[in-house]
Amino acid sequence: MKERRRVTRAPIKTLISEEQSSLISVGTIINISEYGIRYAKQADIKASKNSMISSNLIPSQAQSIDIRKVNFCLPGKTENLELICNVVAEKTNDKLIETSCEFVFISDDRKRAIREYVNKTLL
């Protein structure tokens, strides 16, 4: 499969909290780049039954703007990164929801910290 992202994402396994419409969820980051992130969280059984999200990947063109606040700490660092992101795709099944986001309004120092992590991980 051809890579469609602007930059390569590095694998990462660390906790992430997501705030969406005043609801906070906790999940695990799957991969990261200075431009975006992919993470998974446990599906809410009630929500997954009523959800309009199918088991297929939903491209951003099919969604309205879906802004979320995420908070995580890069491995080996102590500073939490609190970032705003826009969901570009979401995939769900009975147990997990995988979310792919692009960062919105990320500062240069946070972008640099993520880029350094990615470069270090991929070497």
DSSP structure class, residue 43:
P
Q: Please, are residues 39 and 18 in contact by the beta-carbon 8 Å criterion?
A: yes
Per-residue pLDDT of the chain (123 residues; tens, 9 = 90+): 455 566 789 999 999 999 988 899 999 999 999 999 999 999 874 443 333 333 344 454 444 689 999 999 999 999 999 999 999 999 998 899 999 999 998 999 999 999 999 999 997
Q: Please, are residues 70 and 37 in contact by the beta-carbon 8 Å criterion?
A: yes
Helix, strand, coil shares of the chain, percent, nearest 5, are 20, 45, 35
Q: What's this model's pTM, rounded to 2 decimal places?
A: 0.79
Q: Please, are residues 6 and 86 in contact by the beta-carbon 8 Å criterion?
A: no
- Both tokens of 99, joined, read 């979310």
The CATH H-level superfamily of 10-122 is predicted glycosyltransferase like domains (2.40.10.220)
